Amino acid sequence: MNISRRTFCAGMGGLAGLSLVPPALAQTHRLTARKATVQLAPEGYPATDVWSYDGTIPGPMIRVPQGARVQQTLVNELDVPTSIHWHGIRIDNAMDGVAGLTQPPVAPSEEYTYDFAVPDAGTYWYHAHMNSMEQVGRGLSGPLIIDEATPPDVDRDEVLMLNDWLLDPETGAFSEPFSHPMMMSHGGRTGNLIGVNGDFAYAMTSRTGERLRLRLINAANARIFVLRLQGMEGWTVALDGMPLDTPDPIGEEIILAPAQRVDLIVDVTATADQPAGVLMSLNSDGWEALVEMTVSGSTDRRPDAPEPLPANTNTALPDLSQAQQFDLVMEGGAMAGMESAVYQGETLDFRALIDRGQFWALSGQAGMSETPFASLTQGDVARVTLTNRTAFPHAMHLHGMHFREVRDDGSLGPLRDTILSFPEQPLEIAFVADNPGKWLFHCHMLAHAASGMNTWIEVI
């Protein structure tokens, strides 16, 4: 099933990348979910029939100033109901876009207007939130960028939306059913073709000494990107949209789990004849280019490290002394299994769960429960331990509120909305329940969410 990216490349030597950055939109816009045919695979391979926003992969970039109002009317021209979630926005619950929890599904040929304020500057994204495994997998996602009133001093600001697609090289079509039991029970649906901004060979140009802001968004269904910079060095300045207190020098590797974002400020150190770009590690295959950067000319490098990005409001550290404690235990999947779990009110053994397409459970519950995993009152502080008893990593995402990791020494990590949990490596997170509503808490390996790893928290 796994064809390497090189297989796709075979015979395509010297193919130059075409880089098309989607144009920014005005604040009020109609976003049409519709079928389109897009060239995802390299030239010479067939095009792919996708589900898109406005006919492009990724969807159009939505870019507004911090504090602005976003008004987007979703026009559903697909044959199936859909909805849009604004990932990472600390949003009014009614606008969160979770079909079946915060709004009814938007039926084919119907419209639905999202209208909300964006309190935080940073790098976010939007995607379908109904049968996400398939709808996001077929292309329904796009970048959502909220600009600071005073942007950092950089020469250029680049959005890099990472994705992968599992395509049949013969036909260009998505291969294998989206609800493939093998994918659901293992690491999720990972692709055989990796692209940036919808382009198999995304390329950039720059000059030696330039300072760039790179906004990386992992929009893939399940792939964890392991990245390295070549010919650039710099700092991480934000995670999941939220600025770090101090820019953090970039280490050897950048790990980006599904749905996570990282904002980097980098200086180009490569000179004209040196290789540069963003590299990715593909299993044991070593490193290969994800984004190739051609360097020509030069400018004076800035002498100083960048200033931190301006802090967002409402980011004070929670007081853990009064926190309520919850335990989230992840179980199931291949190679670990589980005895039983509750599904739709019934306790079922693993075999019976599998018959219903449920491979995973969170604290003994497969899929959504009648009552929330945690019931909180506005202002409560919650601590949640994450215990991974499965054989796979999971990218756990909380809607509506960012959380912080509680480290072993009791200190608190940076604000995030998605955290990567590895098998047998306990984690703990804490957050202030300051946003009322019903908030989903799920694995962003979308095949896992579809087969059990999906729960919710209520804040009253």
Nearer to ligand C2O by Cβ, of 112 and 200: the residue is: 112
Q: Which two tokens stand for residue 369?
A: 């429960």
Q: How many residues bind Cu ion (CB under 5 A)?
A: 4
CB of 444 to ligand C2O, least distance (A): 6
**338 sits near Cu ion (criterion: CB under 5 A):** no
Q: Which residue has its beta carbon closest to ligand C2O?
A: 87
Separation between Cα atoms, residue 172 and residue 193, nearest integer Å: 11
CB of 436 to ligand C2O, least distance (A): 18
85 contact choice in ligand C2O, Cu ion, none (CB below 5 to 8 Å, kind-dependent) = ligand C2O
**448 sits near Cu ion (criterion: CB under 5 A):** yes
Nearer to ligand C2O by Cβ, of 130 and 266: the residue is: 130
Stretch of 8-16, 115-123, 203-211, 439-447 contacting Cu ion, by CB under 5 A: 439-447
448 contact choice in ligand C2O, Cu ion, none (CB below 5 to 8 Å, kind-dependent) = Cu ion
Tell me whether residue 385 is exposed, middle or buried, using C-beta atoms within 10 angstroms of its C-beta: 0 to 12, 13 to 18, 19 or more: middle
Nearer to Cu ion by Cβ, of 261 and 448: the residue is: 448
CB of 57 to ligand C2O, least distance (A): 17
Contact predicate 91/417, CB 8 Å: no
Nearer to ligand C2O by Cβ, of 129 and 448: the residue is: 129
CB of 431 to ligand C2O, least distance (A): 16
Measure the N-to-C terminal CA separation of the chain; round to a whole number of Å. Answer: 46
CB of 390 to ligand C2O, least distance (A): 19
Contact predicate 144/72, CB 8 Å: no
Nearer to ligand C2O by Cβ, of 129 and 189: the residue is: 129
Among 445, 446, 457, 459, binds Cu ion (CB under 5 A): 445
Contact predicate 281/228, CB 8 Å: yes
Stretch of 111-119, 136-144, 250-258, 444-452 contacting Cu ion, by CB under 5 A: 444-452
Nearer to Cu ion by Cβ, of 134 and 199: the residue is: 134
Nearer to ligand C2O by Cβ, of 217 and 430: the residue is: 217
CB of 276 to ligand C2O, least distance (A): 31
CB of 419 to ligand C2O, least distance (A): 13
Report the relative pairing of strands 276-281 and 287-298 from DSSP bridges: antiparallel
Nearer to ligand C2O by Cβ, of 5 and 444: the residue is: 444
> Which x/- pattern, by CB under 5 A, does the window 389-418 give for Cu ion?
-----x------------------------
215 contact choice in ligand C2O, Cu ion, none (CB below 5 to 8 Å, kind-dependent) = none
Q: Smallest Cα–Cα separation from 305: which of 231, 242, 211?
A: 211
Nearer to ligand C2O by Cβ, of 204 and 457: the residue is: 457
CA 245 and chain centroid, separation:
22
CB of 171 to ligand C2O, least distance (A): 29
**87 sits near Cu ion (criterion: CB under 5 A):** no
442 contact choice in ligand C2O, Cu ion, none (CB below 5 to 8 Å, kind-dependent) = ligand C2O
Contact predicate 53/32, CB 8 Å: yes
CB of 447 to Cu ion, least distance (A): 8
Separation between Cα atoms, residue 154 and residue 147, nearest integer Å: 13
CB of 273 to ligand C2O, least distance (A): 41
440 contact choice in Cu ion, ligand C2O, none (CB below 5 to 8 Å, kind-dependent) = ligand C2O
* Interaction site with ligand C2O (CB under 6 A): 85, 87, 127, 129, 259, 397, 399, 440, 442, 444
What are the residues binding Cu ion (CB under 5 A)? 394, 443, 445, 448
